[in-house]
Amino acid sequence: MARLLPLLLVGLAVAAAVAMFVRPGTVISIGDRALATSIARDAGSATGGCHHRREAWFCTDGESRMYRAVVGDFGCWEAVEVDAGGRVVSLDPASGCVNLPDLLAIGR
């Protein structure tokens, strides 16, 4: 049993590192900057911004489009385009997951 404990700890550390790289939302909470970066990348834009209001996030993609996004498990999100009043403009949702480069704002 004493021999298995170090292996178990190494296994847990590797699993946490993989989760952090693939889906950091499984390890830490997703903030506005990481979500904005992820949505902007999905929209093909270099910048974006988000703020949390009630049950949803409201984000822009840097190209003057606004989205209402919901973040689910593992840092994955789904967003619909809305107008300035918050009314849905497009029923074709965008979706994605926040990854480590989004979290660190790498490659913007």
How many CA atoms, within 13 angstroms, populate the side-chain half-sphere of residue 65? 19
CA pair distance 37, 31, nearest whole angstrom:
10
pLDDT for 101 beyond 70: yes
Strands (E) in 14-71, as ranges, are: 49-53, 56-60, 66-71
pLDDT for 24 beyond 60: no
- Neighbouring CB atoms inside 10 A of 1's CB total 4
pLDDT for 108 beyond 60: no
- pLDDT value for 4: 81
pLDDT, averaged across the chain: 80
CA pair distance 103, 38, nearest whole angstrom:
8
Amino acid 40 reads: A
Tokens 């979706």 -> residue: 95
pTM comes to 0.71
pLDDT for 32 beyond 80: yes
The predicted-structure confidence for 36-69, as pLDDT tens digits, reads as follows 888 888 888 877 888 888 888 999 887 788 999 9
- pLDDT value for 10: 78
Tokens 């178990």 -> residue: 8
Tokens 């590797």 -> residue: 14
- pLDDT value for 64: 80
Tokens 């993609």 -> residue: 61
- pLDDT value for 95: 92
* Residues 62 and 69 sit within 8 Å (Cβ to Cβ): no
